[in-house]
Structure 1
Amino acid sequence: MPHRTTIWTHRVRFLEEWALPHWATFTIWNAGRQGRRLYRSLTAGSRCKVVAFCDVDENKIKKGFYCYEDSQERPKPRVPVLHFRAAQPPFVICVKLDLTGGAFEDNLRSLHLQEGRDFLHFS
């Protein structure tokens, strides 16, 4: 059985080869563990396309940015963290479905976006 990190790596590569080339920029929906992990897993070229993270967690939004501390770049990349309503599509969504009692799904639906064009699920 493939190891979880192998599956993750293949999923990231698939995202980079098939979806991200069609987007000049994108937002990662989830400034938590999964969203940050995706950001760190992207190639430098794909990371440059990330214009923001978005979330509903006031603490993450209040901090204002995510700093990629392990980056070799100087200065270290700092990516804004916005409330989801202030963020611009397209989104790569790193939120597991059915974990928020429908709150996430309601938030996503409220934006009237089209899956495949305006967002992709990556969880």
Structure 2
Amino acid sequence: MMPQRIRLQWEAAIQHPKSIIGSQIKREPVEATERYTRWINNLTHEQLLTQIFTSHGPTVIMPTWFCSREWFCHVGRFDEGGKGVPEDLLFFYEHLRKDGGVFRVDQCLLLYRYHPQAATHSVLEETIWRYRVSFLEERLLSHWTCFTIWNAGKQGRKLFRSLSQANQKKVVAFCDVDKNKIMKGFYTYEDSKEIPKPKIPILHFRDASSPFIICVKLDLTSGQFEENLNLLELKEGVDYYHFN
């Protein structure tokens, strides 16, 4: 950690006593997890709360966390289930359930080393997926009457299949830019026990209605996806949330 870390985060914690205080980081080696590092360091302070559903996990990473012991005990401490348990993600979710905030000191206060034996690699992707979908349904979808899944491909369809039946029925459409998927017209949920099988329309993103759950990875398409999203002039945290 950098010499000024404790002082700066303590000062922030005094101002935000019910928040997890994080910081910006630098990676060693520098080229490790470049997209993730950019995400962690460049989220706006609003996005620290709007991007809590993404596959990147907590919007301030656990090695940078700082909070009072009182708040830590109020949230409920860590899950001690051991190897394979995403204890940081579970604590972060419980923190948010108890109306905790998220704040980042916008200075690099930690050198974060990457190595292939890190415990984070022992957590299965499917384990994290189940927790993420459950939290998405609890925090957002249970309060919505309808929504569109942005991505008619593999990730969008996987999300649809993972939802409860009640939330599946709220999906009014998929949207995409892929002409072949749009021309197909519908996604048929073949695993459904309903007769006839549910068919969900596939629309061009300009023809779809908000709110959106976006299942497109950020920072991967040379800015094309982000440009398409900006065209719609939507507000993050109101009209859409990122899930991937």
For normalisation by structure 2, the TM-score amounts to: 0.50
User: How far apart, CA to CA, are the structure 1 residues paired with 2:207 and 2:158?
Assistant: 22
Structure 1: unaligned runs, 5 residues or longer: none
Counterpart of 1:67 in structure 2 is 188
- Aligned to 2:173, the other structure's residue is in SS state strand
The number of residues matched between the two structures is 123
Partners of 2:240 and 2:228 in 1: CA distance: 13
Q: Distance in 1 between matches of 2:195 and 2:131?
A: 29
Aligned to 2:44: none
Q: Which residue in 2 is equivalent to 1:29?
A: 150
Task: State the secondary structure of the residue aligned to 2:148.
Answer: strand
Point out 4+ residue stretches in structure 1 off by more than 3 angstroms. Answer: none
Equivalent position to 2:229, from 99, 108, 123:
108
Mapped to 2, the partners of 1:88 and 1:40 lie a distance apart of 21
In 2, distance between residues paired with 1:23 and 1:85? 21
- Partner residue of 1:92? 213
Identity among equivalent pairs (%): 63
Matches within 5 A, 1:37-48: 37-48=158-169
Give the corresponding residue for 1:2: 123
CA RMSD, 1 decimal = 0.7
CA distance in 2, matches of 1:45, 1:21: 9
Is 1:58 matched up with 2:179? yes
Amino acid at match of 1:102: G
What secondary structure is seen at the aligned counterpart in 2 of 1:38? Answer: helix
| TM-score for both structures, normalised by structure 1 | 0.98
Deviations 1:5-43 (A, max 9, x none): 010000000000001122210000000000000000000
Listed one character per residue, the Cα deviations across residues 62-110 of structure 1 (whole Å, up to 9, x for unaligned) are 0000001111111111000000000000000000011111110001011
Residue 141 of structure 2 corresponds to residue 20 of structure 1: yes
Query: Relative contact order, CA 8 A, sep 6+: which one is greater?
Result: 1
